[in-house]
């Protein structure tokens, strides 16, 4: 069963219903005052669809919304100028990115953030943290202590949980590169790992738009501390 939606022109979700006849609740958005629409403003021939399933309003996120009309192909008003953007800003900034890997990953994270691909943001962000911790451990310990970050028996990098523990245990040595490798930072890394895992593995869990936006400043802080430490490690070794 389909879930139809009334959406304001800025992309706020006003109401949803399995019955398109009862979707119009208020005429204007209570958050921004923009007009609420229930069908494509170009062709008036296509109801706005939030999901192919019947899902409650509170479970609909901006990332679920169609970006283009299924009937005439016009971009919906919330798709923005380049046809994709549903929110402005970035999830993490790129102040300390240096390599092509982190640049590409941070760009992808922020692209997903702007188009409302919330789960993808957290999966990619987890990958950024994991890779940066590998680079820190590898830069500092080198191949002489490869067991710190590499599982020789299985010929692969350690699982992320093992990497965080090794990183945690190495903090007294790594503190020469950064003053910010605190217990609180480790706790935040564990939390973001958990979020990324939930998004990658669970079929039920979804992250709300506001929830993700609230995570952004903490996420940027953690990424910047790690990337900055990584840069110092690479400079010194």
Which residues contact Zn ion (rule: CB under 5 A)? 8, 10, 12, 29, 31-32, 34, 40, 42-43, 46, 69, 71-72, 74
- CB nearer to Zn ion: pick between 5 and 225: 5
- CB nearer to Zn ion: pick between 73 and 194: 73
Distance, CA of 153 to CA of 151 (rounded, Å): 6
* Minimum gap (Å) between residue 38 Cβ and Zn ion: 12
Is the CA virtual torsion 63, 69, 75, 80 positive or negative?
negative
* Minimum gap (Å) between residue 55 Cβ and Zn ion: 20
DSSP conformational letter for 2: -
- CB nearer to Zn ion: pick between 69 and 222: 69
**Is 76 buried (19+), middle (13-18) or exposed (0-12) by CB count in 10 A?**
buried
- CB nearer to Zn ion: pick between 33 and 194: 33
* Minimum gap (Å) between residue 177 Cβ and Zn ion: 45
* Minimum gap (Å) between residue 71 Cβ and Zn ion: 5
* Minimum gap (Å) between residue 86 Cβ and Zn ion: 11
Distance, CA of 1 to CA of 39 (rounded, Å): 18
- CB nearer to Zn ion: pick between 47 and 127: 47
DSSP β-ladder status, 3-8 and 49-51 = antiparallel
Q: How many CB atoms lie within 10 A of CB 25?
A: 13
């Amino acid at each position: 069963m389909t879930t139809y939606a009334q959406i304001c022109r800025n992309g706020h979700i006003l109401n949803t219903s399995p019955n398109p006849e009862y979707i119009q609740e208020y005429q204007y958005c209570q958050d921004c005052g923009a007009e609420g629409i229930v069908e494509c403003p170009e062709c008036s021939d296509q109801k706005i669809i939030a999901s192919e399933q019947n899902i409650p309003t509170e479970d609909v996120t901006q990332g679920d919304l169609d970006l283009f009309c299924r009937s005439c192909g016009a971009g919906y008003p919330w798709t923005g100028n380049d046809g994709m953007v549903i929110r402005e800003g970035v999830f993490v900034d790129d102040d300390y990115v240096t390599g092509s890997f982190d640049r590409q990953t941070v760009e992808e994270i922020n692209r997903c953030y702007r188009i409302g691909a919330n789960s993808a943001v957290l999966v990619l962000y987890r990958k950024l943290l994991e890779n940066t911790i590998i680079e820190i451990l590898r830069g500092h310990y080198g191949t002489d202590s490869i067991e710190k970050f590499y599982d020789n028996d299985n010929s692969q990098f350690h699982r992320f949980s093992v990497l965080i523990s090794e990183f945690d245990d190495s903090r007294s040595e790594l503190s020469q590169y950064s003053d910010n490798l605190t217990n609180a930072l480790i706790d935040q890394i564990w939390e973001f790992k958990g979020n990324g895992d939930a998004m990658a593995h669970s079929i039920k869990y979804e992250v709300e738009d506001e929830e993700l936006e609230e995570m952004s400043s903490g996420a940027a802080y953690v990424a910047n501390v790690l990337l900055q430490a990584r840069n110092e490690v690479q400079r010194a070794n």
